[in-house]
Structure 1
């Protein structure tokens, strides 16, 4: 019985080639989109989960206005903000600042590497 259903399905697909191609490609694109979105959601939900105090971690975001008047949000803040948060808010115990740097030269003893790197400090 099942073999008969498969045979009929292939005959219908072969008879309506254009319609079948559109439906199958649409289904494939939709499934790929669902898979990519679910991978992205899983990544966002697992971010910083390896820390022991993950419930106490926060990221500071900033709203700024561009030259043409457009308001944007981003995680770029001024450098003194980390120390100011620790000094002025008792809820903030520690802070870490990340600087997304350009090309830097890292060297140790006789080895040198020129690469893009991030600079991190603790306040």
Structure 2
């Protein structure tokens, strides 16, 4: 077995159209469905607009709602202290012009490095 890898993608829409908050995939053989490729990779797609909250822990539902609308109101409605703390830190970062400028500079440098590597 290879090292375990977890890939999580969070989308503000339902990528697969079944109304779920979470879709979990692992590799399997199309011809022999019970034959799984034990590559240690799991792919999870989270949908911020799911319709079945009873299928997931409430804290994950609150996190997805917060990711959809990162506002004081949504954060305040969360029972999770971790999400409220995350919101406090997000607000601090947003309020810090130095952090914003540093982030943008880092992002621009990353784009320039990627272009240089391509060309």
- TM-score with structure 2 setting the length: 0.19
Point out the structure with the larger strand share: 1
- TM-score with structure 1 setting the length: 0.19
Higher Cα Rg, which structure: 1
